[in-house]
Amino acid sequence: MTLLDWSTVWSLIHVFVLNALLYEPRLPKKKALILTIALMGPLAAYNAWFFVHFGNELAGQLVLFNCTIPSLIFFMLMAKHRNGRLLFTFCLSDTISLEIICITRLIDDAIGLPDFWVLFILRLIVWPVLEFVVIKWLRKPYLVLQNAVQKGWGGFAAITLLFYVILVVMSSYPTVIQNRLEELPALLLVMALMPLIYWNILTTLFRQQELHETKQKEQLLQVQTAMLKQRIEQTLEAENQISIHRHDLHHQLQVIKTMLESGEIHEAQDYIEASQETLNGTKSRHWCLHPVLDAVFSAYFQRAEAKGIKVEADIDIPADIPVNAVELSTVFANALENAIHAVSNLPQEHRVIRCRCICQPQLMFYVSNPYSGEARFDENNRPVADSAMHGIGTRSIAAYCEKYGATCEYSAKDGVFVIRIAQTIWTN
């Protein structure tokens, strides 16, 4: 095999690697990796063999049938999102790969050294550099983007598909571009235009994601504000009822005294029990001393109990803590929201949420709940949500932890899901 052959095989392998980096499989990562190697490896080997035996020109003309369509079918079967998101991602990877292949070949032809040394060295360097850039800066936000943005992918996918067809046709039909140098300026213009279009598409998608997340956070804040307002109103009403009963207490004591003096012991006992039940109905349960956080816990625990969920909570938070209580309350609210969502559809006997929080020696908070089905985690060990709406809570918690240097750990074992958050809030 010549250096041209080796560089082509190298490029084919990394085309599949680039595709695998930018899509989200519906299977667990280990199983998806095994299937990718088992199925895409032979496909890459076949295309390399075809190139070596039939030459660069024929291989380029048949790349759509030998490589593109089979790999697209594979990723379509493996992908979590089988719609415009996958097609956009697939065509984005393939057009970038085709552009690298074309540019490195044109540079090699322009320099004119024999035996394709320039081509081999360029491709040997460019592919690892590209994958490093993708892993370092693009992959994580792009996977989040695919889950967060639901609309608009079809039109963008059509653009990337059109670019792919244009590159294949202009570079390989009716012969390779090296035999049609008069058409090279047009191909170079297309290759210069393509990154600019992709940059604008990705920028638009990321801005759409930011707007979506901002809207979701605003909605969550509105819900939490409404719950706080409801809690305050309930507290004020309970305190008002207590004030009324205290005012009436001396009248009740006088009635009891009269009954006892008259020998009406049983009637007095019944009267006392009835008064006690009325007084109990005005109790306002508090979970911690901090008013804002107590309102959040009360609102979500009441919501859980209304759904038939048993709550086991031990909250030890003082009235004054050196952190932003509003932002911290959002963390608690998101964690409890996720737990309530997870157990709401379980059988009644399995509906339970356990919560504990302390502030000394540092803020430590955990919520545990049973779950059904499979708990999936991304490369950051964060749970993968079944919809973008539920995923916003996890991202909100991550944003808080990143802002304040807190740690957040998720685990799922023996049917129990746990989130643990720790943050140093007291300084010497």
Does residue 360 surpass a pLDDT of 90? no
Which range has the top average pLDDT, 52-66, 234-248, 303-317, 385-399? 303-317
**Distances in whole angstroms, Cα of residue 136 to Cα of each of 111, 140, 290, 302, 379:** 32, 8, 41, 43, 13
Q: Are residues 162 and 292 in the same domain?
A: no
Instruction: State mean pLDDT over 68-88.
Output: 90
Domain boundary among 130, 163, 179: 179
What's the rounded Cα separation, in Å, for the pair 29 and 20?
Answer: 11
Share of the chain above pLDDT 90, in %: 36
Question: Which secondary-structure segment (H or E) carries 86?
Answer: helix 84-111
* pLDDT confidence of residue 403: 82
Question: Which secondary-structure segment (H or E) carries 218?
Answer: helix 184-261
108-117, 197-206, 217-226, 260-269: which has the minimum mean pLDDT? 217-226
Instruction: State mean pLDDT over 135-148.
Output: 86
Q: Do the domain assignments include residue 85?
A: yes
Q: Do the domain assignments include residue 86?
A: yes
Q: Please state the pTM of the whole predicted model.
A: 0.62
Q: Which of 85, 61, 57, 74 is nearest to 15 (CA)?
A: 74
CATH number for the domain that contains residue 352: 3.30.565.10
* pLDDT confidence of residue 389: 47
Q: Do the domain assignments include residue 165?
A: yes
Does residue 280 surpass a pLDDT of 60? no
Does residue 199 surpass a pLDDT of 90? yes
Which range has the top average pLDDT, 158-162, 238-242, 325-329? 158-162
**What is the number of helices (H) and of strands (E) in the chain?**
13, 5
- For 55, counting Cβ atoms within 10 Å of its Cβ (0-12 exposed, 13-18 middle, 19+ buried), the class is exposed
Does residue 252 surpass a pLDDT of 90? no
Instruction: State mean pLDDT over 167-195.
Output: 90
Count how many domains the chain has: 2
**Cβ neighbours around 225 below 10 Å, total:** 11
Q: Do the domain assignments include residue 274?
A: no
Domain boundary among 179, 203, 233: 179
Q: Do the domain assignments include residue 36?
A: yes
398 contacts: CB under 8 Å, gap ≥ 6: 380, 382, 408
Q: Which of 364, 375, 369, 368 is nearest to 407 (CA)?
A: 364
Domain of 132? 3-179
DSSP secondary structure code for residue 418 in this structure: E
Domain boundary among 129, 150, 179: 179
* pLDDT confidence of residue 227: 62
Q: Which of 121, 74, 84, 96 is nearest to 18 (CA)?
A: 96
What's the rounded Cα separation, in Å, for the pair 428 and 408?
Answer: 23
30 contacts: CB under 8 Å, gap ≥ 6: none
* pLDDT confidence of residue 408: 93
Question: Which secondary-structure segment (H or E) carries 101?
Answer: helix 84-111
Tokens 């737990």 belong to residue: 339
> What burial letters (b/e) apply to 5-16, b meaning 16+ CB within 10 Å?
bbbbbebbbbbb
* pLDDT confidence of residue 366: 94
Q: Are residues 16 and 153 in the same domain?
A: yes
Contact criterion met (CB below 8 Å) for 363 and 423: yes
Q: Which of 249, 252, 289 is nearest to 268 (CA)?
A: 252
What's the rounded Cα separation, in Å, for the pair 234 and 46?
Answer: 71
Tokens of 214: 């901002």
- Indicate the SS3 state at residue 6: helix
Does residue 93 surpass a pLDDT of 80? yes
Q: What is the pLDDT of residues 32-70, one digit of tens each?
A: 889 988 988 899 889 888 888 888 788 888 888 998 899
At 194, the pLDDT band (50, 70, 90 cuts) reads very high
Q: Are residues 293 and 163 in the same domain?
A: no
95-104, 153-162, 283-292: which has the minimum mean pLDDT? 283-292
Q: Do the domain assignments include residue 257?
A: no
Instruction: State mean pLDDT over 72-96.
Output: 91
Q: Do the domain assignments include residue 248?
A: no
